[in-house]
Structure 1
Amino acid sequence: MAHWLFKSEPSTWSWDQQVAAGAKGTFWNGVRNHLAKQQMMAMQKGERGFFYHSNEERAIVGVVEVIKTYYPDHTDETGKFGMVDVKAVKALKTPVTLAQIKAEPRLAEMALVKNSRLSVQPVTDAEWAIVMALAVEKA
């Protein structure tokens, strides 16, 4: 299974709001980038992703799971873009900051480092394992 990273500004949609949505989860809408759209179209039910607080915090704070695959985004007036549904799985023991990720040589090729503006990104199995280890090591 693939892994992903979902970026959100905490002032728009926070980890706490995602957790509060419970098992029913929420739709991940508003993506208006064609590469991010392709990433979402590739997602399969049950795949996991990092929940990343952008701008204010710049840290991976939790793990979400895709619970519904790609379908039309009702907020897109053009009809070109879609969304997936995700639910919170768990908070990271300790958030992993962008600074930590950039300081880790094994993460130098991570999409978050190379193409930080992309709102939905793939994460390799190796990157996933390294970030999860960083979240545990700091605790």
Structure 2
Amino acid sequence: MPYWLMKSEPDELSIHDLQRLGETRWDGVRNYQARNFLRSMQAGDEFFFYHSSCPEPGIAGIAAISRTAYTDPSALDPHSHYFDAKASAEKNPWSAVDVRFVEAFARVIPLAELKQQSALLELPLVQRGSRLSVMPVNAEQWAAILALR
């Protein structure tokens, strides 16, 4: 089963918000490579939920894909922060997935700690200049991160 890491700003959606909701739509991805990763996800795939752009960025828990990729409705909503004026009902290049809560970690695993792990050197998250919001995680990286919680 493939593993993933997906980033969200906690004031937009945090692991605790997802815990309260149980399930929600993951939308607003506006990078083609990240979108393609969303499109390759299968129901049941698990991902690390990463809090970004906040005082303590890091991995906050685990969630899972509950519905595979579909057209992202936020791209068509002029009131949405993720509105894309170039998108239309007939031609919307963006995708969303539905996700469900699995686990909130007792602590956020900080990015600085992740960068110190030799098993994670190839993880795009810890590489200089990488800003992807959705990325694959291999089984070795998944296990290394789980061991840190």
* TM-score, normalising length: structure 1: 0.91
Determine which structure has more spread, i.e. the larger CA radius of gyration.
2
Hey, what does 1:127 align to over in structure 2?
Answer: 141
* Identity score, percent: 40
Partner residue in 2 for 1:4: 4
Shift of 1:94: 2.9
Q: How many residues align?
A: 133
The partner residue of 2:28 within 9, 27, 30 is 30
TM superposition score normalised by structure 2: 0.86
Q: CA RMSD in A?
A: 1.1
Give 1:125 deviation, angstroms.
0.6
Amino acid at match of 2:117: E
Which residue of structure 2 lines up, in the alignment, with residue 99 of structure 1?
112
1:95 Cα offset (Å): 2.1
Answering whether residue 74 of structure 2 is matched by residue 75 of structure 1, we say: yes
| In structure 2, C-alpha distance between the alignment counterparts of 1:83 and 1:60, rounded to whole Å | 21
Measure the CA separation in 2 of the matches of 1:67 and 1:55. Answer: 25
The whole-number CA distance in structure 2 between the counterparts of 1:2 and 1:34 is: 19
Instruction: Indicate the residue corresponding to 1:55 in structure 2.
Output: 53
Q: Which runs of 5+ in 2 are unaligned?
A: 77-86
1:88 to 97, 101, 109: 101
> Secondary structure of the residue that 1:11 maps to in structure 2?
coil
Runs of 4+ aligned structure 1 residues displaced above 6 Å come to none
Tell me how far 1:64 sits from its aligned partner: 0.2
